Amino acid sequence: MGGRQTGRRRQRLRLVVVPRLHLALVAASLLAIAAGVAYARHLATVSWTIQATVSGKVVVIDPGHGGDDPGTLGVDGVLEKDVTLPIAQRLREVCGSHAVYALLTRSKDASVAEGIWDPGRRRDELQARADLANRWRADVFISVHANSFPESYWHGAQTFHYPGDQRSRRLALAIQQQLVKRHLTPDYREALPGRYYVLHQVQAPAVLVEVGFLSNPQESRNLQDPAYQRRLADAIFAGLVDFWLAERRSPDQAGMTEPRYEYP
Ligand SMILES: [Zn+2]
């Protein structure tokens, strides 16, 4: 008898519990669908905003050195000019896939200025690159370089802007933030001012990205790896998007403090 009663109670319980569970599942599913739709709409809005902000922009990318000017020499014998070019090319690819018009100051292993290159004409070479950016009406100029230091343990990418130029500084900060976020540089490495001639001569916001240290064996290997080069290009592009979105929101973004010291 006791068993039958328990059975009936169980049955009653099941009658009550099952629909509730069923309702809960239906509600959860509906919620999930609603959340999914909202999220998809959000993504669409975000990507539309990004696309509307970046499309048609002109980015001039400057692969450092080239031709008779090798740049710095890596621990494994790689030359800076042979690392900066593929990274610049990958950045151009990333820009192109987002309808951003990207131009390179050089697309082969050669100098940009007319005539024979020699170290005494370094300034002419830099001027020729800046002239191209100005002639092409660049919205942004990005010079790609690789670093070197006597001690091999230094590593990480770093972005520089000309001192006193606030738009360039915001661009440098945005790119550096992405490099840190994507673990392409330690978080203590900040965007810094640097008195680079080429940056001074470009009218658009201009930065120089030292993509890493060729004096560090691991980083030198990374910088020659297409997958790592692509990660760098993605990070730089993400920084560009952040910069343009911020400019769209508030063109004269204030409240940023100056970095503590200047790069020589
Ligand atoms: Zn260089």
- Ligand 1 centroid to Cα of residue 52, in Å, is 34
Residues 217 and 179 in one domain: yes
Residue in 117, 243, 118, 109 with CA at minimum distance from that of residue 168: 243
Q: Are residues 69 and 138 in the same domain?
A: yes
Q: Are residues 101 and 134 in the same domain?
A: yes
In a domain, 262, yes or no: no
What CATH number corresponds to the domain at position 214? 3.40.630.40
- Give the end of a domain, one of 54, 69, 91: 54
155 in a structural domain: yes
- Ligand 1 centre to CA of 13 (Å) is 76
Whether residues 29 and 154 fall in one domain: no
Does the residue 257 lie in any domain?
no
Q: Are residues 85 and 211 in the same domain?
A: yes
Domain span at 101: 56-249
pTM for this prediction: 0.79
The verdict on 185 and 123 lying in the same domain is yes
Quote the ligand 1 centre to 66 CA distance (angstroms): 10
How far is it, in rounded angstroms, from Cα 178 to Cα 187? Answer: 10
Residue 258 lies in a domain: no
Q: Is residue 234 part of a domain?
A: yes
Distance CA 171, CA 191 (A): 9
* 3 state DSSP class of 34: helix
Asked, for residue 118, whether it belongs to a domain, the answer is: yes
Q: Do 91 and 220 reside in the same domain of the chain?
A: yes
For residues 191, 166, 206, 203, the Cα torsion angle rounded to the nearest 10 degrees is -170
Say if residue 122 is in the same domain as residue 41. Answer: no
Asked if the structure places residue 263 within a domain, the reply is no
Q: How far is the CA of 69 from the centre of ligand 1 (A)?
A: 10
Distance (angstroms) between ligand 1 centre and the Cα of 135 equals 23
Residue 174 CA to ligand 1 center (angstroms) comes to: 21
Is the same domain home to 63 and 47? no
* Same domain? 239 vs 108: yes
Give yes or no: residues 11 and 81 share one domain.
no
Distance 58 CA to ligand 1 centre (A): 23
DSSP-H helix ranges across 136-194: 166-181
- Domain contains 181: yes
Of the residues 38, 54, 70, which one is the last residue of a structural domain? 54
Q: Which amino acid is at 54?
A: V
Tens of pLDDT along the chain (264 residues) come to 444 555 555 555 555 555 677 888 888 888 888 887 777 776 666 677 788 888 899 999 999 999 999 999 999 999 999 999 999 999 999 999 998 999 999 999 999 998 777 777 889 999 999 999 999 999 999 999 999 999 999 999 999 999 999 999 999 999 999 999 999 999 999 999 999 999 999 999 999 999 999 999 999 999 999 999 999 999 999 999 999 999 988 766 543 433 333 322
Residues 147 and 20 in one domain: no
Specify the number of domains making up the chain. 2
3-state secondary structure of 101: strand
